[in-house]
Chains A and B, each alone.
Chain A
Amino acid sequence: MGGVRARNESAWLLPNDGTRTHHALRENMRTFADGDEVDVVIVGCGAGGATLLQRLARAGLRVVALDAGPFWDPDRDWVSDEAGSHHLYWTEPRVITGDDPVPLGSNNSGRGVGGSMVHYAGFTPRFHPSDFRTRILDGVGADWPIRYCDLRPYYRDLEEELPVAGERWPWGDPHGYPHRPHPVGGNGEVFLRGARKLGITAKVGPVAIANGRFGNRPHCIYRGFCLQGCKVNAKASPLITHIPDALARGAEVRADSMVTSIEVDQRTGRAKGVRYVRDGRPHFQRAAMVAVAGYSIETPRLLLNSASSRFPDGLCNDFDQVGRYLMVQGAPQTAGRFDAEVRMYKAPPPEVSSEEFYETDPAKPYKRGFSLQTVSPLPITWAEHVAAQGHWGRVLRDYMRDYVHWSCLGALCEFLPQPGNRVTLAQETDGYGLPVARFSYSQCDNDRLLMRAAQAVMENLLRAAGAGEVITIDRYAHLVGGARMAADERHGVVDADCRTFAVPNLYITDGSVLPTQGSANPALTIMAVAARAADHMAGGAR
């Protein structure tokens, strides 16, 4: 692990006295004035923005990251409680529509430094090589302008930096993980038992929770509140994996700063900086380069809200690509009832997964596939699962009293990118007077077939493990796309290096650039894409 510390010292910059935040590092961080032209200003401090910030600071660039939310202190700001964690989500107004509208807020939208990785479960699989070539291989989706091998070295580095724990991974590009797999709880046990009975390969991991101490980060205490922000500093998020090192290398994180537009010089066509609001006052940060990392809803919204005479339909939107090809994963969740006590709330929700159904199976009526994972909802989320069966009143309560007997699995189905699934601007405005995002989603036939196929496999697996009743709720998980990477400006918003086609010194370095999503949780790939873009930007691209 000596190699990791030399590249990224974050875990060693955290306190080892039982508290979770290095306050002096934050108080003494370098700061830049608005009028001081920094090398790069980054919008958003989650998986993409924070990784970029750390890489650029390491490369010696003068860089500041603005985030609309707070600079979290896990001791002070986070609780070991479901309802009390509502403030971790982006809950600004948004409108959802389409044939299959996708709820936002909790589950898929983060807020504050660390972004959605503060409340993600912690699964960090790589994409498969096929994910980068679905059009040529399967005739669906899109081909990326980069290949899997372009991201492989970044995957490997980041898996050490988070670090990731898991068994040797037999799917996609087979690989090992730097930390050994965690012991499993009741839900993982059920998954492994059912999979064994059916001959389905399942593996423990890959989970971005150190197995053992890592730097000054303590061992996981298996309390099951991964989705509420890790008060232990055991589960990885950029707040603890990349921000400390970035600050130590001279980067600034400017929290509570809502970026309202990107300013472009109408004569040269180059970005000049960003307008933002802090403490109720407007500011303008000058920068030689701008990188947007606001994720799949806010990034397109910011571009659309940055219209000007040169870009009347929104920044980088000359070819009507901004906001399009936004994807969610179909995430049906199936639970099974056991006479034994499973108590799935004990141990991290991310325990065991299978990618056996990830690739296209020519014998099936659909293309691409799905992955299976443990999910282990806490009581409020579990009540949503039970209520979705139509139960309410006494029946709902009777089901809920039975909580300790249920095991719960989730699938991630690879929904295909479609042009009509997109963000546009609504009439309604937010507290800053800016039009809010309107997000339209409709499934295609392939999407629906995958949902049903995944549900059938999960039901079989739970029954094979000994379940009596099984119940399923149709859900969605994750967001990617909305400003995708492509070979040219008629098919996407950024090039292979995340540079926008329209503005040479404007980059997008978050999940919105992904052209496809596979059946993998996107966090690791978002970080890898941002780290790769950082190499390009630090290499003198201006």
Chain B
Amino acid sequence: MSGPGQRFPGFDVLSQSGNWDPVTARVVLARVGPAGDLRFFTPAEGQAAAALLDRLLGQADGPGVPLVGLVDARLSEGRTDGWRYDDMPEDGRAWRDSLSFLDADALAGVGLGFAACPAADQEALIQAIRDLGPADWHGMAAGHIWSLWTRYACTAFYSHPSAWNEIGFPGPAYPRGYKNAGVDRREPFEVRDARPSDDPVPEGA
């Protein structure tokens, strides 16, 4: 399986940022800057959240997207989706509660807080919740908390130029737009996939 950066060698979204409109550039480049202090999570919650988010996105080998900072900023500024399942509290409360439940699971199973657990144990704890599907987890449907975690985690990770580099996506496209749409057509600034047969799950697997 390919490692980070190997599919689109040399592709660098930020090298094109001079072509972005200034409003978009300001929003995107703010994600690349240094992460500020946490404003929503307590330090302990922040450690658990960082560990959880890094596991959900497989960040052990990079690229080091500051996931907890991005999620914390959303929650502290109230940029939630608004809706909630009726068995769940609003998003901020659901994050706090679920992190404490995750710590409780870790203490019961491993004898350590979640953030302090070895990676393999963290992954096993997460997979156990995933495997519950719609069943109950500490008073809420496990599937609902899984939905909350993965929505926030994926939104944060795939909003970051480092993530776009590894998937070959050029990011903002205004005012330049695209001139070469169509199968196997590229713009001069796009990079061909170096391993086009690298299907994550080959046919018949």
Contacts and interface: CB of A to CB of B under 8 A. Distances in A.
Interface string B47-74: 0000000011110000000000000000
A186 B185 contact: yes
B200 A402 contact: yes
B197 interface: yes
A79 B82 contact: no
Contacts of B159: 81-84, 380
A387 B150 contact: yes
Nearest to A84: B27
B181 interface: yes
A94 interface: yes
Nearest to A90: B82
Contacts of A396: 56-58, 154
A185 interface: yes
A101 interface: yes
Interface in B161-205: 163-164, 166-169, 171-186, 190, 192-193, 196-203
B201 A80 contact: no
B177 A384 contact: no
B101 interface: no
A205 B149 CA distance: 36
Given A81-B171, A392-B150, A396-B57, A380 B181 contact: no
Given A222-B178, A341-B183, A469-B201, A394 B58 contact: yes
B193 A97 contact: no
Interface residues of A, number: 75
Contacts of B175: 221, 231-232
Interface stretch (A253-261, A310-318, A342-350): A342-350
B24 interface: yes
B186 to A, nearest CB: 7
A225 B200 contact: no
A220 B184 CA distance: 22
Interface in A222-244: 222-225, 231-232
B197 A224 contact: no
Given A94-B82, A405-B193, A84 B185 contact: no
Contacts of A94: 82-84
A186 B183 contact: yes
Given A384-B154, A393-B57, A405 B196 contact: yes
B167 A404 contact: yes
A402 B199 CA distance: 7
Given A189-B183, A346-B181, A101 B58 contact: no
A383 B199 contact: no
Q: Of residues B79, B166, B172, which shows the largest number of chain A Cβ atoms within 10 Å of its Cβ?
A: B172
Contacts of B37: none
Interface string B122-133: 010010001000
A270 B178 CA distance: 54
B24 A84 contact: yes
Given A380-B154, A401-B2, A223 B168 contact: no
Contact of B7 (A79, A96, A221, A401): A401
B39 interface: no
A261 to B, nearest CB: 21
B172 A79 contact: yes
Contacts of B203: 468-469
Contacts of B184: 186, 340-341
Q: Of residues B82, B126, B197, B198, which shows the largest number of chain A Cβ atoms within 10 Å of its Cβ?
A: B82
Q: Of residues A220, A382, A387, A390, which shows the largest number of chain B Cβ atoms within 10 Å of its Cβ?
A: A387
A91 B82 contact: yes
B169 A390 contact: no
A392 B82 contact: no
A380 B158 CA distance: 5
A59 interface: no
5 contacts: A184-B181, A231-B175, A338-B183, A343-B181, A393-B55
Interface of B: 1-2, 7, 20-21, 23-24, 27-28, 55-58, 79-86, 90, 123, 126, 130, 150-151, 154-159, 163-164, 166-169, 171-186, 190, 192-193, 196-203
Given A396-B56, A397-B57, 13 more contacts: A77-B23, A84-B28, A97-B86, A103-B81, A105-B81, A186-B185, A221-B173, A338-B183, A379-B169, A383-B155, A393-B58, A397-B58, A468-B199
